[in-house]
Amino acid sequence: MNDQADELLLITKTIARVRVAIVATVTGMVGGFGLFAATVWLLIKGGQNVGQNLSLLGAYFPGYTVSWLGSLVGLFYGALTGALLGWSVAWLYNLLARQRLHRARSRRT
């Protein structure tokens, strides 16, 4: 085999397509649980000024506050934001992998 054929074979074996829906689901779960856990942790910890910095997320996530109800709202918004971010990263990865494979195949001919 020549070098270009070896390179194409190596690329097709090593670059795997990512399942966008699975990545979006997992990052959504991590994001949602992360914001939920951070809110609940601050509520349990208590103190004089509970969640002063975390409550600023209310500017981006309508309805979010550092409260028990806000933790559920944060779960939703964290999951939504995580899923959108995960979907975008996986989609971009697949696009770049597809272009790299196409470029390798076109150089081969």
Residue spans of the domains in the chain: they are 19-108
**pLDDT per position as a tens digit, 74-107:** 999 999 999 999 999 999 999 988 888 777 777 7
pLDDT for 89: 96
Longest pairwise C-alpha distance within the chain: 71
Q: Rounded to whole angstroms, how far apart are CA atoms 83 and 57?
A: 17
Per-residue pLDDT for 1 more than 60?
no
Per-residue pLDDT for 3 more than 80?
no
Number of other CB atoms surrounding residue 27 within 10 Å = 21
